[in-house]
């Protein structure tokens, strides 16, 4: 069985801002989160087109971090975004 690739995309009703060295995302209902530098980069890359593999490569290159740790943290962050309706899954038809 073939599985179609899935990507995450930022929800359209999410407000996001970077103020000086701090980044924030939130919803109009008051749900808000402060993001680290790495989390902010991930947030920016959640465009529905960039794969997790590409995100991991970008972070490893920019921050010189271990790819296994990046993947673990990326999946935890994505779970939090999905649980709080801050992002959604996009399924691609192409293989």
Ordered domains of the chain (ranges, CATH): 9-87 (1.10.10.1150)
Q: What is the pLDDT of residue 34?
A: 97
Confidence of residue 92 (pLDDT cuts 50, 70, 90): confident
Judged by DSSP in three states, 48 sits in: coil
Q: Which two tokens stand for residue 19?
A: 């103020």
Per-residue model confidence as pLDDT tens digits over 24-67:
999 999 999 999 999 999 999 999 999 999 999 999 999 999 99
Would the pTM of this model clear 0.85, i.e. be above it? yes
Burial group, residue 46, by CB count within 10 angstroms (0-12, 13-18, 19+) = buried
**Structural contact between residues 24 and 39, judged by C-beta atoms closer than 8 angstroms:** no
pLDDT interval class at 3 (50, 70, 90): low
């Amino acid at each position: 069985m073939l599985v179609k690739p899935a990507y995450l995309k930022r929800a359209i009703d999410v407000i996001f801002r970077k103020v000086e060295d701090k980044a924030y995302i939130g919803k109009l209902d008051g749900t808000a989160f402060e993001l680290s530098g790495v989390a902010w980069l991930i947030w920016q890359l959640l465009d529905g087109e960039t794969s997790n593999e590409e995100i991991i490569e970008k972070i490893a290159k920019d921050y010189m971090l271990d790819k296994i740790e990046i993947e673990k943290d990326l999946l935890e962050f994505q779970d939090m975004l999905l649980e709080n309706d801050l992002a959604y899954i996009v399924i691609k038809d192409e293989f």
